[in-house]
Chains A and B, each alone.
Chain A
Amino acid sequence: MDKFETFTGVAAPMPLVNIDTDMIIPKEFLKTIKRTGLGVHAFDEMRYDRQGNEIPDFVLNQPAYRNASVLVAGDNFGCGSSREHAPWALADFGIKVVVSTSFADIFFNNCFKNGMLPIVLPQEQVDILMKDAEKGENARQTVDLEAQTITTSDGEVIPFEVDAFRKHCLLNGLDDIGLTMEKVSSIEAFEKQSAAARPWV
């Protein structure tokens, strides 16, 4: 996994609440056996008509937001299915950070596994970032994970919380499986003890 580095990028506003993973990547794209190439289908049904033409109103089709790397979204982003195709599609599109007041649990986890940072903020701060994002082209926000801040295009600095372990993994591009493999002796010890205590498992 790539290391998560400080960046400045265009922020796109998506104020709709309950944006679900079916919206982020509709099921017809789940038939792939690869992780890559899903970016063109991110938000497919909101983004294209049935003939495959872009719907000009959709935020990521607007010239100002085509290269967005931050999404500022309404409550409960990423609810629904566990499909990791959702963060794969967003990452492949170029999204590195999603900001919302809340995220669905599985989507939230999935982001970290793919080098993406979901940021949870109180409503007022999300509103500030949303307003900023709505300005269009100039709304370039800076995300500094090390310092745990997101800075608006006007220079307003908003701090955010992030789990220390997850931060460490993102900053260093660490692969979870590799980390867990280092603890294989604990796993073996657990298996031994559990085989005695719960042999039917």
Chain B
Amino acid sequence: MSPKTLYDKIWDAHVADVADDGTSLLYIDRHLVHEVTSPQAFEGLRLTGRTVRAPDKTIAVPDHNVPTTLDRANPATMTEESRIQVEALDKNAKDFGIHYYPVNDVRQGIVHIVGPEQGWTLPGMTVVCGDSHTATHGAFGALAHGIGTSEVEHVLATQTLIQKKSKNMKVEITGKLKPGVTAKDITLAVIGETGTAGGTGYVIEYCGEAIRDLSMEGRMTVCNMAIEGGARAGLIAPDEKTFDYVRGRPHAPKGAQWEQAMEWWKTLYSDDDAHWDKVVTLKGEEIAPVVTWGTSPEDVLPISAVVPAPESFKGGKVEAARRALDYMGLTPGQKLTDIQIDTVFIGSCTNGRIEDLRAAAAILKGKKVKDGMRAMVVPGSGLVRAQAEEEGIADIFKEAGFEWRMAGCSMCLAMNPDQLSEGERCASTSNRNFEGRQGYKGRTHLVSPAMAAAAAITGHLTDVRELMTDAEAVA
């Protein structure tokens, strides 16, 4: 047998039909659904008299629109339009008989956090969702990617997608990370290296010692932003950490089925001599804590750097950088650590898991949010929130002056009232710094949870390593 990549193996196991030109029908094992990109798809089914082909493989949860305030059980906390959208999901889930975690269920949260948490996401699966950050699930060695609403309807009706195979790209992070450097820094550093279109046409497999050393949470952070690098999906081969994470989850296989699954899962890695269409290698020990300065996730620099001059770029990027600096209110040459921050947001499907909250809390412990700043934590799911409360992390946040919110997407995309105002500058653990993403004319700097915590304490972008104790710095 010819050598295969992990992507090749998962792809081959899911092709239900293939035409002469390679156009394939890819069978979908898990379809995740949220309220924003699905109403038109369900409407389409109704109009054509179609049903959901595999309701037991379809899981819905409202997350984008839902308020994250403590009083959200009160419908008045939602705008009319948001309420209609969430109610449409309630109704569609019920009418079509799919799995559902409503807003008042403790398991509710961001769809990409709920899937793995409940054991829906398993190695070797195909996972899709009408959301670009579906790549997150690739951390389990699942082929996971975002789709548009027409494709949501297609998967609901047929449990398949019409696909052409992407190319294989390997991103290797060798060596060990330095203290204070996290999965978020890795994934941003990769995008800084490849650009936002560098992965277009590829499925990325992340590998190397620094990736192996990451927890499952960290791996999800890395894969989550594969889309910001333009890739269709990001993957990490499953290993003991993966199996340990999955074991015992509500929807993970049990008993004999677990054994049978493990037998297959252990074959899910790229063969030594597999063919790669593109290879990128970064040295783990050279990655520093990074921040973004502009309005594209590729606008990444180490925290020790200065704001770049537009002329230092080439082609269309010169104008884009000029526009970005104007939008962000920054001047070339300005030190990144001199940028004053108004707001800190910790949350999102990139960094809303328990380990992210632990990392931020470790920096915040015994400290206070700088006077006059707004700081909020929005756990990725109700269960993450509950766990953080149990571990005492919630208290650390609250004592430091953070708002302790309910689960949802919140200020990651600001569809609910959690928004930046004009000119407000935010250190955010989310994944997009686009113009207006977190609120009209809001300014976003993407950072890791630890870096967000550091900015909350000092009031400006800060190298988190300066706030770490000597013991932590050598750990």
Contact = CB atoms under 8 A, between A and B. Distances in A.
A119 B122 CA distance: 37
Nearest to A107: B148
A50 B320 CA distance: 23
B197 to A, nearest CB: 4
A184 B17 CA distance: 10
Interface residues of A, number: 57
A20 B261 CA distance: 40
B230 A190 contact: no
A199 B19 CA distance: 27
A85 to B, nearest CB: 8
A197 B252 CA distance: 16
Candidate in A15, A103, A110, A176 with the most chain B CB atoms within 10 angstroms: A176
A27 B134 CA distance: 18
Interface in A10-65: 15-18, 20, 22-23, 26-28, 30-35, 45, 50
A190 B260 contact: no
A116 B323 CA distance: 29
B150 A27 contact: no
Contacts of A191: 27, 159
B408 to A, nearest CB: 14
A22 B440 contact: no
A191 B49 CA distance: 22
A140 interface: no
Interface string A84-107: 100100000000000000111110
Interface in B75-117: 79, 81-82, 84-85, 88
A195 to B, nearest CB: 11
B223 to A, nearest CB: 15
A75 B437 CA distance: 20
A33 B39 contact: yes
Interface in A104-134: 104-106, 109-110, 113-114
A113 B130 CA distance: 14
Given A45-B435, A82-B147, A190-B27, A105 B201 contact: yes
A80 B39 contact: no
Given A30-B36, A183-B17, A106 B158 contact: no
Given A164-B21, A165-B21, A200-B253, A106 B148 contact: yes
B197 A163 contact: no
Contact of B150 (A32, A103, A176): A176
A187 interface: yes
A17 B85 contact: no
A179 to B, nearest CB: 8
Nearest to B318: A17
B196 A113 contact: no
Contacts of A18: 196, 296, 298, 320
Contact of B316 (A20, A74, A84): A74
Contacts of B213: none
Nearest to B56: A201
A201 B252 CA distance: 9
B63 interface: no
Interface string B427-470: 00000101111001000000000000000000000000000000
Contact of A79 (B131, B197, B437): B197
A105 B166 CA distance: 10
B414 interface: yes
A19 to B, nearest CB: 10
16 contacts: A16-B316, A22-B432, A22-B435, A31-B81, A45-B436, A75-B316, A76-B200, A79-B196, A87-B148, A109-B148, A179-B162, A180-B25, A180-B157, A187-B160, A200-B122, A200-B261
Of all A-B residue pairs in the complex, the 4 with the closest CB atoms, nearest first, are A200-B253, A113-B150, A190-B16, A33-B39
Interface of A: 15-18, 20, 22-23, 26-28, 30-35, 45, 50, 74-76, 79-84, 87, 102-106, 109-110, 113-114, 163-165, 176-177, 179-181, 183-184, 186-187, 189-191, 194, 198-201
